Amino acid sequence: MISFPASMRVFERGWLSSNNVLFVDDERAAIVDTGYATHAPQTRALVEQVLGARRLDLIVNTHLHSDHCGGNALLQAAYPCGTLIPASEAEAVRHWDEEALTFRATGQSCERFNFTGTIAPGDTLRLGGFDWSVFGAPGHDPHSLMLYCAQERILISADALWENGFGVIFPELEGESGFAEQRAALDLIARLDVRAVIPGHGAPFSDVSRALETASSRLDYLVADPARNAKNALKVLIVFKLMETRSMSFDALSNLCESARAMRSAADMLVAKDKRRALLERCVDELARNGAVRVEEGMVHAR
C-alpha cells in the first residue's frame, strides 16, 4: 500500500480520463489534471466531495491532451480558480488553435478554457505544503511536464511513465522526433530518487525499476520498427473514441480517420490511402480478438 501525505488525494480514473491529484492545505486547494470532457461533471463531483464548501484555487495541467484538461472549463465555471499550463502551449490556448492543441488531430473534444499563468521545466510549485520541481518530459507530447517532490520522493509522471509502458509517441506520426525524447524522459526518471509514481493512467505504483525496464523494452520495440508505433496509435485512438461514443459504424470510423490528422498520419505510415478502410477493419478485428471492442452487424462497440 502506497502512502501519500494527508494533503494529497489521488483520484484514479478510467482510461478515458487521466488521473487527478487534489492537494489541500492551509494555503490553497489545487488539482493536477482534470480528465476528459465527457467526465467533467464527475471530476467536479470528486472535487466537491473533498472540498465541501471550500473553493478550488488552482488547476495545473501536465499537458494539454484532451484527457488531461477536458475538465478545466467546468471547474473554471464552478470556481474562480487560477490555471497553470505548459508555457509552450500558451499561444495555442490564447487563440484556441484546436489543430495545434491536437484536439482535432485526435478526433477528441475539449471545451474552451482560459489560463492565468504558465509553468516550464526548472520551475517549482508549492502544492499540498511541499515543493514540486517541474521537469520536461517530451516524447508522448512535446510540451508534457512531470512534477517531482524530493521531500516525499513522489513523481507525477503524466504519460511519460505508466506501470506497464507510456503514452503513444505522437510526434513520430508526423515525422518529428519523439523516440529520443521519450528515452531521455525515462533516463531522467531513473536518476531521480522515487518511491512512488502517480501515472497519468492506471494505479500509482512503487516498483519504479520494473516500470522503467518495461518502458525501455517497449521503446526499443517501437524504435526497431516505427510502424509499430503508428499501428498502436491508430488502435489507441479508435478505442479512445469508442469509450466516448460507445459505438460507431465502420463508415464513421473511416470518416474519423480521414478528418483526424493523427489517425490519418498513422494510417499513411502503414498503407496507401485507398487501403485505409481495410487497415481499419484489420485493426478493429485485432482489437476484437483481444477483447478491447466487439463487432455486431457492422457496428463497432466499446467493451
Residue 206, pLDDT score: 98
Angle at 61 between CA 13 and CA 25, to 5 degrees: 80
Q: Which fold has domain 230-302?
A: Arc Repressor Mutant, subunit A (1.10.10)
Largest distance between two CA atoms of the chain: 60
The helix (run of H) or strand (run of E) holding residue 190 is helix 179-191
Residue 16, pLDDT score: 94
How far is residue 298 from each of residues 24, 71, 140, 301, measured CA to CA in Å? 49, 33, 33, 10
Residues 6+ apart with CB under 8 A from 34: 18, 20, 40, 43, 59, 61, 68, 69, 70, 71, 72, 75
Residue 298, pLDDT score: 86
Q: Is the pTM of this model over 0.85?
A: yes
Q: Rounded to an integer, what distance in angstroms lies between the CA atom of residue 282 and that of residue 83? A: 42
Q: Rounded to an integer, what distance in angstroms lies between the CA atom of residue 231 and that of residue 269? A: 9
Residues 6+ apart with CB under 8 A from 183: 139, 216, 219
In tens digits, the chain (303 residues) has pLDDT values of: 899 999 999 999 999 999 999 999 999 999 999 999 999 999 999 999 999 999 999 999 999 999 999 999 999 999 999 999 999 999 999 999 998 999 999 999 999 999 999 999 999 999 999 999 999 999 999 999 999 999 999 999 999 999 999 999 999 999 999 999 999 999 999 999 999 999 999 999 999 999 999 999 999 999 999 999 999 999 999 999 999 999 999 999 999 999 999 999 999 999 999 999 999 999 999 999 999 999 998 899 998
**Grid cell listed for 232:** 498502436
Signed CA dihedral, 39, 64, 120, 134: sign only: positive
Spans of all domains in the chain: 8-108+122-224, 230-302
The helix (run of H) or strand (run of E) holding residue 68 is helix 66-69
Name the CATH superfamily housing domain 8-108+122-224: Ribonuclease Z/Hydroxyacylglutathione hydrolase-like (3.60.15.10)
DSSP per residue, 131-144: EEEEEE--SSSTT-
For the purposes of burial, counting CB atoms within 10 Å of the CB of 67, is it exposed (0-12), middle (13-18) or buried (19 or more)? Answer: buried
